[in-house]
Amino acid sequence: MYDTLVLGGWTLVTPVEKALWLIESRLDSETSLAEIAEAAGVSRFHLSRAFGVATGHSVMSYLRRRRLSRAAQRLTEPASIILNVALDAGYGSHEAFTRAFRDQFGITPEAVRAQGHTGNIELVAAIGVDSGAFAELEAPRREIGEALLIAGLGERYSFETNQGIPFQWQRFRPYIGNVPGQIGGTTYGVCCNADAAGSFEYLAGVAVANFADVPAELRRIRIPGQEYVVFRHRGHVSGLRRCVYTIWNRWLPASGHEIADSPDFELYGEDFDSTVGTGTIEIWLPIRT
């Protein structure tokens, strides 16, 4: 059973709930991804993925946006001093604060201070986690996966920009069945090369026997043979997000498994119909043994 934490009358269950609570309690003090992950009871990598799936934000981007939103509200107070607000928001200088503030809101702190309100800017409100978003999962299986060579179209995303993934699949569709050395009709959505800022590379591709004749415009990635825990999603692809959300925010914390530092991937079976988005999708997560 996963650990729970009771704070202020609220029962916090998932790593994301614990992270959100810590972020809100640390808006006026320095904190790091490592500290937030420790409070959430998971690794930095696990928290980055779970948080991104649950909120659509990277952890530190959300923290930064919340701090700037709090700062904007404080600038409307008659006695506010911009430098003091900047320092409270974690910025060491007026200039750095102004750059970040303008990048987020399209307006300077001086302008907000002068107008005395935030009605013309979009503040980032505190996020709540909807426990009703959990899906019923089929029991996963453990499997030793063989090494794979994947060729496909690759793009780098953050959790704020990953809406481009469906279009990436549309661009890759003409290649399916036409990549030299392609093995079978299975397609793969590979997540790899994640960084501490919450960005990751996504590859829409197919398995190939070798890379010798793969077109130059396609990205190539080697996935080592290793042990996986494999989940199966049936039905429409629109339900995949709830499935992934449940895996990272409920199943994994309860399982005691730790994710290995290796690519994970979605496997779209040969029964998957990409034109209507229905069929079998498997989620393969590498685990430490």
Q: What CATH number is associated with residue 83?
A: 1.10.10.60
From 72, 99, 115, give the residue that closes a domain.
115
- Does residue 289 sit in helix, strand or coil? coil
Q: Tell whether 68 is covered by a domain.
A: yes
**Segment 60-66 mean pLDDT:** 93
Q: pLDDT band for position 71 (50/70/90)? A: very high
Q: Which domain holds residue 68?
A: 61-115
Rounded CA-CA distance 138/140 in Å is 6
- Asked, for residue 238, whether it belongs to a domain, the answer is yes
Same domain for 280 and 151, yes or no, is yes
**Cβ burial, residue 167 (10 Å; 0-12/13-18/19+):** exposed
Q: Evaluate whether 242 touches 260 at the Cβ level (below 8 Å).
A: no
- 27 assigned to some structural domain: no
What is the enclosing helix (H) or strand (E) of 34?
Answer: helix 33-40
Least confident piece of the model among 99-113, 134-148, 172-186, 267-281: 267-281
- What was the pLDDT predicted at 3? 46
Greater model confidence, 217 or 132:
217
Per-residue 3-state assignment (H helix, E strand, C coil) for 217-282: CCEEEEECCEEEEEEEECCEHHHHHHHHHHHHHHHHHHHCCCECCCCEEEEECCCCECCCCECCEE
Domain count, the chain: 2
pLDDT band at 5 (very low <50, low <70, confident <90, very high): very low
> Is 0.85 surpassed by the pTM of this model?
no
Q: Which CA distances in Å does 170 have to 154, 158, 182, 204, 277?
A: 13, 19, 18, 10, 12
Mean pLDDT of the chain: 89
Token duo for residue 194: 């994640």
In a domain, 39, yes or no: no
147 and 281 part of one domain: yes
Place 45 in a pLDDT band, splitting at 50, 70 and 90.
confident
The confidence band for 77, taking pLDDT boundaries of 50, 70 and 90, is very high
pLDDT in tens, 222-264: 999 999 999 999 888 888 888 998 998 889 988 888 889 899 9
Asked if residue 72 and residue 154 are part of one domain, the reply reads no
The model's confidence at residue 130, banded by pLDDT at 50, 70 and 90, is low
Q: Are 159 and 55 within 8 A, CB to CB?
A: yes
CA dihedral 187, 223, 287, 156 (to 10 degrees): -70
Q: Which amino acid is at 270?
A: E
pLDDT at 12 over 70: no
Q: Of 231, 220, 90, which is closest to residue 152 (Cα–Cα)?
A: 220
For residue 98, give every residue at least 6 positions away whose Cβ sits within 8 Å of its Cβ, in sequence order, or none: 108, 109, 110
Average pLDDT over residues 78-89: 92
Greatest mean pLDDT among 8-22, 31-45, 150-164, 213-227: 213-227
pLDDT at 1: 34
Structural domain contains residue 54: no
End-to-end CA distance of the chain: 20
Is residue 194's pLDDT more than 90? no
Q: Which residues pair with 5 in a beta bridge?
A: 12
